[in-house]
A and B are shown apart, each in its own frame.
Chain A
Amino acid sequence: MTGSRRASIEVKNVAKQFSGDVTALDELSLSIQPQQFISLLGPSGCGKSTLLRCIAGLESPTRGTISVNDVPVTRPPDGLGMVFQRDALLDWRTVLDNLMLPVDFRGGDRAAARQRAESLLALTGLSAFGKRYPAELSGGMRQRVAICRALIDDPSLLLMDEPFGALDALTRDQMNIELQRIWLAEHKTVIFVTHSINEAIFLGDRVVVMTPRPGRIAEIIDVDLPRPRRLALRGTPQFSDYASRIRKLFEGMGLLKEDA
C-alpha cells in the first residue's frame, strides 16, 4: 500500500523528441496540486498521451524534469493507478482476479485487497459480475472494471489515457457521471486525457488545453462549476462559456474552421 494519499506533480521545461525529429512535447511546464482533477485536452497527436506516459514513468523526457511528491520520476511512481483507452483487462482472469492484479505484482494484504475489490465493484454496480470473464462484459462494464483495478490499492495518483474514447456516446456520458462519483468518493489526483471538450469541462477542476505538434500548453482554464455536476449542466450558459472559450483556442490554432 502507498504511504501518501496525496500526490502533487511538478512538470518543468519538459521536451520529448522521438527518433526522426518528431517533437512531441516542447518546453512544457505544469504544476498540479494534490486531489485535483486535471483534464488534459488537445487534438489527436498533440502529445497529451506522451506527457501522461512521461509522468507515469513509462517514458523519459528528452529534456526537463518531472517529479511526483518532489521525487523525480525515473520509474513508475509510488501509488500510481493507470487506465488505458482499451481497458487492458486480462482475458484469462475473472473480473475479481483482474482487480487483484496490482496486488499480485506489488504485494500487500490480499484479504484487505479482496474486500476493497468487492466494495469497488459495489460502487460501480458490478457486484454480480465478479466471477465473470471480461469477454462476457460490455465495453462500458469492462472500462469500469479497469477503473476499479486502478483504484484497488488506493493510489494517490490516477492517470487516465482517453479511457472512454472507444465507448459510444451514451455509455460515455454514463461513465462521466460514474467517474465523477468515484472521484468525489475517493479524491485522487487525476490526470484525464481526452479530446472531448465537453468531457474535459464536465470532469475537470482545471482544463489544460494543449497545442498540436510540438505539444505545448495553450492555456489552463479553471472550471468553477459546483459539484456534483449533472449532465444537464452542459446546457447552461456557464458551461457554454467555458466550451466556447476552448473552441476559440482551437480556432486560433487553425484546428476549427467554420467555412472550409
Chain B
Amino acid sequence: MKRDWQGSGTAVLALAVVFIAWEILVRALAIKPIVLPPPSAVIVEFGHNWAWYLNHAWYTLLVTLGGFAVAVAVGVTLAVLIVESRILEQAIYALIVGLNGIPKVAIAPLFVIWLGTGAAPKIAIAFLIAVFAIVIDTVLGLKSVHPDILDLAKSLRGGRLATLFRIRFPCALPSMFAGMKVGIGLALVGAIVGEFVSSQRGLGYVILSAQGMFDTTRVFVAILVLAVMGVALFWLLAIIERFAIPWHSSQRPASSGH
C-alpha cells in the first residue's frame, strides 16, 4: 500500500510540473489565449461554469458506459463462440479482421442515418470502436488454458459448459481485464466521435461548438474533463480487477514471490 501512495505522489508531482511549465511558457512567450490558454484561465473557466460542464460530461459518461457495456456483452459472447466452434472461429474472425480494417470513425455518419440523432448512434459508435479489443483479448484468455488442465477437466467428465465456466472464464479474467482497460478508453473515443458527428449534448458537442466560436479555453476545459474521466474509468476497472482476481501475479506485490 505504501508503494501505491508513493506512486500516486510521483504522478501528482509530474502533473504539477507540467502545469507550471505550461503556465510559465504561455506567459513568458506571450502566447495568445486563442492559440493556447494558460492553465489558470482554464481552471477559472471551469470554476465559472462547472455545472454546465459536468452536465455535458454526465451525458458523455453515460454514452461511454452504454457503449462499453454493450461491447463487453457482445465481445465476450463472440469470443466464446470463436473458442468453442472451429467453423465460427474462421467465419467470425474473418469478419472481425475485415471490419477492424475499416476506420470506424468513417462509419459514424452512417449510424446517424440509421439510428437518428439521439444517444443510440453514439452508443453504437462507442460499442463498435471498443468491441475489438475486448474480443481479441478475451479469445486470447479463453485459449490460454494449459492443455493438461483441459485434460484434467475431461478426466473429471466435465462438459463444455462446465469447463467454460469453471476453467476457461476464470483463467481468461486477467486477459479480459486487459482488454476492458483498453476498451473503456476506446469507448470514450467513440462517444466523442459520435458527439462530433451530430449532437446537442456531451463534451464532444462542447468542443465542437467552442471551436466554432474560437473559444479555445472552453475546448481545453472539455479536454481536461475528458482526461479526468478517462483516468477515472481506467482506475475504476483496475480496482474491480484487484477484487476480481486477487490470485493473479500482476496483482500481488513482487516481494511475496518466493
Binding site for B on A (CB under 8 A): 53, 56-58, 75-76, 80, 82, 84-86, 88, 90-93, 101-102, 104-106, 133, 135-136, 138
Contacts and interface: CB of A to CB of B under 8 A. Distances in A.
Contacts, number: 64
Given A88-B148, A90-B167, A135-B257, A82 B155 contact: yes
B166 interface: yes
A106 B157 CA distance: 7
24 contacts: A53-B151, A56-B155, A76-B155, A82-B152, A84-B151, A85-B148, A86-B148, A88-B146, A88-B148, A88-B149, A90-B167, A90-B171, A91-B248, A92-B171, A92-B173, A92-B245, A92-B247, A92-B248, A101-B152, A102-B156, A106-B156, A133-B247, A135-B257, A138-B258
Interface string B147-168: 0110111111110001000110
B81 to A, nearest CB: 23
B49 interface: no
Given A90-B170, A92-B173, A138-B258, A75 B151 contact: no
Tell me whether chain B's interface is mostly helix, strand or loop, or mixed: helix
Given A92-B171, A92-B173, A104-B166, A76 B154 contact: yes
Given A58-B155, A75-B157, A88-B148, A105 B257 contact: no
Contacts of B10: none
Nearest to B151: A58
B256 interface: yes
A104 B151 CA distance: 16
A104 B257 CA distance: 29
A58 B154 CA distance: 7
Given A93-B170, A105-B156, A135-B247, 8 more contacts: A53-B151, A58-B155, A76-B155, A86-B148, A90-B167, A92-B245, A106-B156, A106-B157
Contacts of A104: 166
Interface string B115-154: 0000000000000000000000000000000101101111
Nearest to B150: A88
B249 interface: yes
Interface of B: 146, 148-149, 151-158, 162, 166-167, 170-171, 173, 245, 247-249, 252, 256-258
Given A84-B148, A88-B146, A135-B247, A57 B155 contact: yes
B155 A80 contact: yes
Contacts of A84: 148, 151-152
Contacts of B152: 82, 84, 88, 101
A82 B151 contact: yes
A69 to B, nearest CB: 16
A86 B258 contact: no
Contacts of B248: 91-92
A75 B155 CA distance: 8
Contacts of A135: 247, 249, 252, 257
A86 B150 CA distance: 12
B166 to A, nearest CB: 6
Contact of B156 (A93, A101, A136): A101
Contacts of A53: 151
B151 A136 contact: no
A205 B57 CA distance: 74
Contacts of B154: 57-58, 76
Contact of A105 (B166, B252, B256): B166
B48 to A, nearest CB: 50
A258 to B, nearest CB: 37
Contacts of B249: 135
A90 B168 CA distance: 10
A20 to B, nearest CB: 19
Nearest to A103: B156
A84 B198 CA distance: 59
Contacts of B170: 90, 92-93
Contacts of A133: 247
Contacts of A85: 148
A86 B146 contact: yes
User: 10 nearest interchain CB pairs?
Assistant: A105-B156, A88-B148, A84-B148, A92-B170, A82-B155, A133-B247, A105-B158, A92-B247, A76-B155, A88-B149
